[in-house]
Structure 1
Amino acid sequence: MGKDRQPRGQQRQGDAAGPDDPGPKKGAGSRGQRGEEEARTCCGCRFPLLLALLQLALGVAVTVVGFLMASVSSSLLVRATPYWAGIIVCVVAYLGLFMLCVSYQVDERTCIQFSMKLLYFVLSALGLVVCVLAVAFAAHHYSLLTHLTCENAPDSCQCKLPSSEPLSRTFVYRDVTDCTSITGTFQVFLLVQMVLNLVCGLVCLVACFVMWKHRYQVFYVGVRMCPLSASEGQQQKV
């Protein structure tokens, strides 16, 4: 009888341990796959979202400073007040935020997903070019103001280049009561525009790099609405 009880106990322990062994392994594997998918989703939705928010914040800042510069004098040229650069970057940012609402699918199986990514890449490249132009115009105007000699006139400020310059021109800034608003405040605005547009151009360049990396390397962009299957999750882009 003792011999019969011992194998039964061992058999019960084996039966109890046998069905439980595969269970935790399957649970651990499914939890690992879910964790990997969540990590990819977070990597895909946070980084482009951060870029779009940066573009929006910098675009609004460039636009506001540009309109403040335009209020200094009515005779300022459009290239001297680059609010247009901020407006373009804001449009790019809104497109990037809207792109995150499109559900992610492997290998860009939807036409709207591919179209929006391509448009976002092209507009980010355009924003980069526009920001570089804004920096160049602001730097040129700032260097010009450093060589000007300004005098107050009725409702205007007249600035002249030194007589030693071959092209001695006179620049008239209308609706200005004091020349310090041109030689002081406006110069500060130009410096701020150079810094903001330089940072904004770098953000647009990073956005272009993210889109290129997502297309030709493994980088997940967008909000994934449905979890990928195990076979699709193991695919790699070449």
Structure 2
Amino acid sequence: MAGRREPKAGGAEEVHACCGCRFPLLPALLQLALGASVAVLGFLAAARSASLPARDTPHWAGILVCVVAVLGLVMLCISYQPDEKTCVQFAIKVAYFLLSALSMIVCILAVAFAAYSYSQISQFSCETALETCQCKLDTVDPLSRTFIYEDISDCTEITRTFSLYLLIQIVLNLLAAIVGFAACFVMWKDRYQVFYVGIWLQSLTAGVQQQQKV
């Protein structure tokens, strides 16, 4: 018939669209924005006080997320072919999946470190001495550990400003971990979305019925 429409040759590519955008454009852009924010905040905190531990300035997590985002944008520029018929496409997809999973784990670690530091700072008793801020968890206990922050003239920068910084890092790293998990889930579903459990159960039921009839 004249009104019959032929299936489009590019139908396989349309499966890889996500919210109107070809995968992984949206996850990669979110990862780039979140990773850059985490890295910039981490470097600013490290520059403000060199005595802050590396776990409290998670620029390392932001850098990894940015690398994953750049790899996702590179994968976006490669022309899609069904069933990963090119080695470059397959290698980029595997690397993006593994690095997204790794970035998710790293961001969760950054969230745990920031949450632990925030719980400690909320219990600090601090005093300023010679451009340093000395904080203790328990002022009564003489053996209580003392946390010393150098190049800080006012301890409110630790108890208030740094606490707010940790909260922002918790939110940003948690969002980055969620985006990384979403990217891994979409890639896994796209590759392994067909399961044969139902067919296997139907064949098993049919076999049992045949045995009962015999």
Task: Provide TM-score, normalisation by structure 1.
Answer: 0.75
State the match for 2:8 in structure 1.
Answer: 33
Q: State the Cα distance separating 1:38 from its structure 2 match.
A: 6.9
Shift of the 146–42 alpha-carbon distance from structure 1 to 2, 3 Å rule, reads: closer
CA contact (8 A) 2:22 2:76 kept: no
Shift of the 59–74 alpha-carbon distance from structure 1 to 2, 3 Å rule, reads: same
Shift of the 179–112 alpha-carbon distance from structure 1 to 2, 3 Å rule, reads: same
The answer to whether the aligner puts 1:23 opposite 2:2 as a matched pair is yes
CA contact (8 A) 1:72 1:186 kept: no
- 1:77-128 per-residue CA deviation (whole Å, 9 max, x = no partner) reads 1111001100000000000000011111111111111111111111001101
State the match for 1:94 in structure 2.
Answer: 70
State the match for 2:138 in structure 1.
Answer: 162
Structure 2 runs not aligned, ≥5 long: 195-214
Q: State the Cα distance separating 1:65 from its structure 2 match.
A: 1.1
Q: State the Cα distance separating 1:213 from its structure 2 match.
A: 1.2
Q: State the Cα distance separating 1:153 from its structure 2 match.
A: 0.9
Q: Where in structure 1 do 4 or more consecutive aligned residues deviate above 2 Å?
A: 22-25, 32-47, 163-167
Within-5 A mapping of 1:176-195: 176-195=152-171
Aligned residues: 193
Indicate the SS of the match to 2:82. Answer: coil
What letter matches 2:108 in structure 1?
V
Shift of the 118–38 alpha-carbon distance from structure 1 to 2, 3 Å rule, reads: closer
State the match for 1:123 in structure 2.
Answer: 99
Task: Provide TM-score, normalisation by structure 2.
Answer: 0.83
Within-5 A mapping of 1:15-164: 22-25=1-4, 29-30=5-6, 33=8, 36=11, 39-40=14-15, 42-43=17-18, 45-163=21-139
Indicate the SS of the match to 2:24. Answer: helix
Could you tell me how far apart the structure 1 residues matched to 2:22 and 2:77 are?
12
- 141-150 vs 37-46, greater mean Cα deviation: 37-46
Could you tell me how far apart the structure 2 residues matched to 1:192 and 1:87 are?
17
What letter matches 1:158 in structure 2?
Q
Could you tell me how far apart the structure 2 residues matched to 1:71 and 1:38 are?
46
Could you tell me how far apart the structure 2 residues matched to 1:68 and 1:210 are?
34
Match of 1:208 among 184, 190, 198: 184
- 1:196-215 per-residue CA deviation (whole Å, 9 max, x = no partner) reads 00010000001111111122
What letter matches 1:79 in structure 2?
R
Could you tell me how far apart the structure 2 residues matched to 1:87 and 1:159 are?
30
Higher relative contact order (CA 8 A, sep 6+): 1
Could you tell me how far apart the structure 1 residues matched to 2:38 and 2:120 are?
21
- 195-204 vs 64-73, greater mean Cα deviation: 64-73
- 113-122 vs 36-45, greater mean Cα deviation: 36-45
